[in-house]
Amino acid sequence: MTATKYLDRAIPQISLASFESRTDEITLELVNAAENIGFFSIIDHGIPSEVVQTMFEDSARFFSQHDTVKAKVPFSAADNAGWEKNAQIRPSTGAPDRKESYQMQFGEGMNGRWLSEESLPGFKETSLDFMKRVQAVSEKLMICFARGLGFPDDFFIACHNVSKPDSQTVARLLHYFEIPRSTSSGEWHRAGAHTDWSFLTLLFQKAGQSGLEICPGREISTSFGHGDTWTKVEPDPESNAIICNIGDLLMSWSDDRFKSTFHRVKAPSEPGDFYGERYSIAFFNQPRKSARIQGPLKKYPMVTGEEFTRNAMQKYYQAVLDKTPMRGRKDAGEPRLVDYRVTPMIVA
């Protein structure tokens, strides 16, 4: 496996303390981070570290269930919800990520996709409480991004209203499997290089479980950051920080003013890398299906949230087919259709 080239980059840390009186100041900080890096962390966000830790404990409880139990809530591409294992193929690698995940939504997409209370007592209640807390933080960021782009303060909040039946926002529990110390038999990918196609991602990392790396988009010289310099984003338990990144949707919605950034969870191969089980939680702000998406400068034609999602799926699927040697094999399953760098019209 080729050694990675690293570069220390400052990841902006933005405090949400006294939000109501500091909204303009916070907006300037967020806009600067979105324009120049695409990644930032937020602190003083109001979610107690104990709440985050409880969610991680419940995530571990879910993934510790036997596969036959988790298979009772299988992933549905139509609803973008449910459990899957070793199923997501990245165009950047042509191979499945070495992980399992469970995607949760607020409304109709979860019909039949919660394990029973008998199987996992308290899990649904804890998860929904956590999701509502993260959504509240997201809405503060949405106010700032709307203000920075010249939209009304509540513009993005209305487009991402999770109380509506066409909500698409997703919370994703992630469990990366332990990696053998010797991987000479082949390459191992925890999560290949990609951008998120959603509006904004809020990521919670578990202390001591490193692996996340970024490669800012405007510094990219190759299709998936291969050969470029990467920066490690280590968990910071002291600050209770949430790592955030701009998605392709917000990049398009800003007329490419804000930058969607390549990131990955590196396959361990070098001294100091983390080989053990890794847990993280990603909260993807995704627009309602009926949301009307077009930037203030109207660089791209208007599309709905549903159309943007469908376009992202189609482009990702084609990219996987073009990359993977599985194409045409009778035993090849359907690759997962999420997370690819897209705009409503072209693949960047």
Tell me: the pLDDT tens digits for 130-146?
999 999 999 999 999 99
Which pLDDT score is estimated for 318? 64
Which residues of the chain fall below pLDDT 50? 184-187, 218, 220-221, 324-348
Q: Which domains does the chain have, with CATH numbers?
A: 5-323 (2.60.120.330)
Instruction: Specify the pLDDT at position 191.
Output: 72
Q: Tokens 């998936």 map to which residue?
A: 224
Q: What is the pLDDT of residue 343?
A: 29
The pLDDT score that the predictor gives to residue 115 is 96
The predicted model scores a pTM of 0.86
pLDDT per position as a tens digit, 67-99: 999 999 999 988 889 999 976 666 555 566 678
pLDDT of the residue at 105: 96
pLDDT at 328 (0 to 100): 34
